[in-house]
Amino acid sequence: MAKKKMTVLDFKKYKEEGRKFTYVTGYDYTTATIINESDTEVILVGDSLGNVMLGLGGTVPVTMDEMIHHMKPVVKGAPNTFIVGDMPFGSYNVSIEEAIRNGNRILKEGGTDCVKLEGGVEFADTIKAMVKAGIPVMGHIGLTPQTTSQLGGFKVQGGTPEGAKKLLDDAKAVEAAGAFSMVLECVPSGVAKALTKALKIPVLGIGAGPHVDCQVIVLQDMLGMYGDFKPKFVKLFANLRADMIAALNTFHKESLDGQFPSPEYSFNVKVEGFEE
């Protein structure tokens, strides 16, 4: 039986019922169909596509057009999965009007079920205005990859009492602004636990330990496909990179030594005047 797609309202309901769920990234049609067949409830078309798909070495250069280009095939491929469209750097930090305009574009052109944006207290007014305009918003605090230069690199956030207090303030501001859920990235487990307890909306943790409401992971990381970098919090649930290289090398060898294509993989139709 096909799984039932979550709605925005289900996020809070799952939290109230203590029901956990999972959330992975997806950037293309084929992968979206695979995720859709799995038990995974949520897909993020993340701006991590800058690293994973486009080889840009980060998320900052990713544009609205690139995001929307990748959202469309994911939406087509995963009709039973809740889909989140990430707002890229520069699409919501100029003005509230610009944020609403770009949020509208993501929902109308990308076709996702909500948008996600990075930032705490300083983006509360933006989130509030977007929600008021009818755009469901997922927050994202802790390590925010779009602003890692300000954070001094890819580092654990909330690792001091002051840092943890700032995270709690951010989380409460995002919730009060009307976000229906919130990603929490790269935070000590104990801080994530306290924050999860303090919020009514679900906390979606990536590198935030086991006590959050939902685990998030970049698909290419967990499948062992992305070779540039492996964060400490990534567990390899498969090693597809090694499997893919082995398959390519077998294809190469069998093609060169004539094993492939065998008759099974050829059109063996006799054509007059042509020898097989």
Q: What b/e string do you get for 78-98 counting C-beta neighbours within 10 Å, with b at 16 or more?
A: beebbbbbbbbbebbbeebee
Q: How far, in Å, CA of 190 to CA of 1, rounded?
A: 38
25 is a site residue for ligand KIV (CB under 6 A): yes
Q: Which of 31, 48, 181, 196 binds ligand KIV (CB under 6 A)?
A: 48
CB of 68 to ligand KIV, least distance (A): 15
**Residue 6 to residues 14, 22, 31, 51, 251: CA-CA distances in angstroms?**
10, 12, 19, 28, 41
* Footprint on residues 68-87 left by ligand KIV (CB under 6 A): 86
Stretch binding ligand KIV (CB under 6 A), from 41-49, 63-71, 156-164, 247-255: 41-49
Site string for ligand KIV, 105-124 (x = CB under 6 A): --------------------
Catalytic residues: 185
Q: Give CA angle at 17 (13, 23), nearest 5°.
A: 65
CB atoms within 10 A of CB 25: 26
Task: Give kind and range of the element (H or E) at residue 22.
Answer: strand 21-25
Q: Which is nearer to ligand KIV, 117 or 274 (CB)?
A: 117
* Footprint on residues 178-237 left by ligand KIV (CB under 6 A): 183, 185, 206, 216, 218
Q: Which of 46, 110, 119, 139 binds ligand KIV (CB under 6 A)?
A: 46
Structure tokens at 91: 């699409």
Stretch binding ligand KIV (CB under 6 A), from 39-47, 101-109, 242-250, 256-264: 39-47
Q: Nearest residue to ligand KIV, using CB?
A: 46
47 is a site residue for ligand KIV (CB under 6 A): yes
Nearest to 85 by CA among 42, 130, 56, 142: 42
- Footprint of ligand KIV (CB under 6 A): 25, 44, 46-48, 86, 140, 183, 185, 206, 216, 218
